[in-house]
Structure 1
Amino acid sequence: MTKICLTGSSGFVGSRLLYELKQVTTFQVAGLCRRLPQDTNESAFFAMGDLQQADLSELLRDTDVFIHTAARAHIMKDEVADPLAEYRRVNVEGTLNLARQAAAAGVKRFVFISSIKVNGEATGNGKAFGADDKPAPEDAYGLSKLEAEQGLMLLGAETGMEVVIIRPPLVYGPGVKGNFASMIKLVEKGLPLPLGAIHNQRSLVGIDNLVDLIIRCIDHPAAANQVFLAGDGEDLSTTELLRGVGKAMGKPARLIPVPAGLLQFGATLLGRKAVAQRLLGSLQVDISKTCELLDWKPPYTVEEGLRRCFERSN
């Protein structure tokens, strides 16, 4: 029996992962979250409070693997006075607090869900980010994830606890929020969108593909002390993605072919360059190391993953 502690177990990724872990008879899992969900009678949930103050010494006894999905997520309009300090408090100090306790308790492996933002914000000229590329975060969130990664690797080297780092790009699936949810609503409303001639390339990862990869990293020998990029293995333009979303929900995406250069110009005038980058720019990831080292491939295609966004089932 492998005993697993999982943080963020009520979140988007963590809740799906908790469900799948519980289907494996050789796993015993404790789901940790900041506070207990009000509408749950789930006996596997444990409240731990703030990451940087949590004391898990009792719960970690006999734990084999610690999976850390909880974090202060990327926030588009951050209202705190010092976003970097807040990201560091939660994503760096909180992560390392838990990791030190895990190492002291004899946990064998610490699996950390990081972000592709550690690599950077964009790729171009047909190039893709690789797992072993030099990190180049451009915002406070990406920097905090990189600093957490670096602290974990140092701790692992000092204590012998194995560290596995997974960097996903945008994650989508049932219940997704943020920009992807906004895009779904626009297509659902049938609004005409000036995105019918975008020829960028974006890598995404469906929630079920990401969860499958995380589970593979629980005990695969080759995962120890490695960094992996996650992805569906298929890259899409924004135009293709919108059409795929429409197909998945059974509604045509109404797309107007406006040149990307014109859209970029308009976004710059309106002070929305960051939004334009996500819609018009490319961000590709190379998952060949992940697939080869772990003998893994994404179990679901993008088309299947998009369809599952609208299937309400576990």
Structure 2
Amino acid sequence: MVGRSILVTGASGFLGASLVRHLALSEAFSVRAPVRHLRVCFPASVAVLPIADLDASTNWQSALSGVEVVVHASARVHVMNESAQDPLVEFRKVNVEGTLNLARQAAAAGVKRFIFISSIKVNGEATLPGKSFSAEDVPAPVEAYGVSKLEAEQGLYELAESTGMAVVIIRPVLVYGPGVKANFLSMMRWLSRGIPLPLGAIHNRRSLVALDNLISLIVLCIDHPRAANQTFLVSDGEDVSTTDLLRKLACALGKPARLLPVPGWLLQGIAELLGRRSLSQRLFGSLQVDISKNQALLGWKPPVSLDQGLRLTAQHFLESRNS
């Protein structure tokens, strides 16, 4: 029996590759993975399709034939050393124009549901301690990336009204898990080397989401009737300070956490003087989300705890380092 046909964009990425593998394990789904460059290995059951760059001119007709659900995880993400004269223009080309081009073709092809992986940055960059973002908040993006994701969300909801194709918006917080890159990987490297870090007195609150938890919510939203035309925030449901996160991660790595109790306000001031405001916000600021809507509407709770997610992440890091 052939399962429901699902197209997953961003299949070569951190989330997309894991989602494709997860879906391929189930006979309920027939998975298509459009990629520009094949950087990962997929199960033989996955139909790997060559695709051009994601923009307003991409032709998705053959890839969408017979597809019932699209999970759109491809995006232009943050660029550390941004060279574009106007970053918002570049983000819009992919995240807005490319997304809406795909969605219009999906609706025309008879796709029933379009799941868009957005970003918590649509809500904003920070919350006050004890205050959480919710899915019903008025969006307040600050940076170009968040603005582009919001514009894509708005375009998708307009398309849903005019075509009848159901849309689901998922806004993850920072995603971690086996194979994570960027700042999370740097933290594991520092801790594994026993490098002393001046982060032992940070009293912020941050929401994170394990890769397995994000995939769990996406899979539920493929079929759940009450997910249609809804927006969901997603996290592990456990908020943690930067200091406690480093302690938990060090424990998962089997290493002592050498954290020096330097006042957070002092470190934040130094970071901002050095022009590292975004890094300062991630390390010292708070960002919490309320995921109670997911339980109330879908009956969804995170299946993986923060400690379990960190252990899986650390185990993969240690195994890949030793291989």
- Mapped pair 1:246 → 2:263: no
Q: How many residues align?
A: 313
Asked if structure 2 preserves the Cα contact closer than 8 Å seen for 1:8 and 1:34, the reply is: no
Change in 2 beyond 3 A, CA 1:64/1:40 = closer
Q: Which residue does the alignment assign to 1:259?
A: 263
**CA drift at 1:40:** 6.7
- Mapped pair 1:169 → 2:173: yes
Deviations 1:203-239 (A, max 9, x none): 0000010011100000000000000001000000000
Q: Which residue does the alignment assign to 2:50?
A: 47
Aligned residues: CA RMSD: 1.5
CA distance in 1, matches of 2:129, 2:13: 35
- Secondary structure of the residue that 2:61 maps to in structure 1? coil
More off after superposition, 155-164 vs 27-36: 27-36
From 120, 135, 140, the counterpart of 1:136? 140
**CA drift at 1:38:** 7.7
Q: Which residue does the alignment assign to 2:152?
A: 148
**CA drift at 1:37:** 3.1
Q: Which residue does the alignment assign to 1:27?
A: 29
**CA drift at 1:59:** 2.4
CA distance in 2, matches of 1:188, 1:93: 42
Q: Which residue does the alignment assign to 2:124?
A: 120
**TM-score in terms of structure 2 length:** 0.94
Q: Which residue does the alignment assign to 2:273?
A: 269
From 67, 71, 81, the counterpart of 1:67? 71
Q: Which residue does the alignment assign to 1:14?
A: 16
**CA drift at 1:125:** 3.7
More off after superposition, 29-38 vs 258-267: 29-38
CA distance in 1, matches of 2:24, 2:205: 36
**CA drift at 1:80:** 1.9
CA distance in 1, matches of 2:220, 2:170: 11
**TM-score in terms of structure 1 length:** 0.96
Q: What residue identity is the alignment partner of 1:64?
A: E
- Mapped pair 1:233 → 2:248: no
Asked if structure 2 preserves the Cα contact closer than 8 Å seen for 1:291 and 1:297, the reply is: yes
Deviations 1:78-106 (A, max 9, x none): 12222111100010011011100000001
Asked if structure 2 preserves the Cα contact closer than 8 Å seen for 1:130 and 1:287, the reply is: yes
CA distance in 1, matches of 2:142, 2:18: 29
Asked if structure 2 preserves the Cα contact closer than 8 Å seen for 1:36 and 1:46, the reply is: no
Q: Could you list the runs of 5+ residues in structure 1 that have no partner in the other structure? A: none
**CA drift at 1:114:** 0.2
